[in-house]
Each structure stands twice: as structure tokens, then as C-alpha cells.
Amino acid sequence: MQIKDLSIEQLDGAVNMLKAIAHPMRIAILSYLEDGKRLTVTEIHELLKIEQSTTSHHLGILKDKGVLSSKRDGKNTYYFLKHANLSSIVQCISQCTISE
């Protein structure tokens, strides 16, 4: 399916996902979740060296906009990319930044 085949509602959903991704910390979070990785809030906040509450805030936005999903396992909640193809966006951003 091509973009021209999407409905206005589908395009609106895509725009909301892109807006949610468009933040340095959120791009960093996505980069850690590439290749099917699943991480907890604690693991992500330690990797990014930011407050756990800030990490939770960003994860909430990404989950709310359909970028991430989560699964509870005992005391831990693991976050992961809802759609594997989102890794392509992160890789594209990385490649475009390197080539400048």
C-alpha cells in the first residue's frame, strides 16, 4: 500500500506518530528498541541517563500515539516497537544525520 492509498484518518494517525517521534529523547528510546528489543523503564532511563519520571513521560507519549506497545511480566513492564517497520525510520534518521 502506498501513502496515496491511505484514508485521511490513516494519514492523521501517521502524522500523530511522527509528531510523537519528533523529539531527541524519543528518537533515542526508539533506537534502543530496534531489532525487537524489549526494555523496562529502568533499563531505558539508565541507558539515556535521564530521570525515570522523564523516561516514563516519553514512553507514555510514544505508547499513546501507537509507536510503542508494552507487556507486563511480573513486576516489570517491557516496552517494544509496536511495528517493526518503525526501525526503518530510526535508521533513516541516523543515516541522514551522518551524511550531513
Residue 99 has pLDDT above 70, yes or no: no
- 46-85 burial: b if 16+ Cβ within 10 Å, else e: eebebeeeebeebbebbeebebbebeeeeeebbbebbeee
Residue 96 has pLDDT above 90, yes or no: no
Q: DSSP states of 11-79 as a string?
A: HHHHHHHHHHH-SHHHHHHHHHTGGG--B-HHHHHHHHTS-HHHHHHHHHHHHHTTSEEEEEETTEEEE
User: What domains sit in the chain, N to C, each tagged with a CATH number?
Assistant: 3-98 (1.10.10.10)
* pLDDT given for residue 25 in this prediction: 95
**pLDDT tens digits, residue range 57-92?**
999 999 999 999 999 999 999 999 998 888 888 888
pTM: 0.87
Taking residues 3-16, report their average pLDDT. Answer: 90
**Residue with the larger pLDDT of the pair 20 and 84:** 20
User: How many residues would you count in the chain?
Assistant: 100
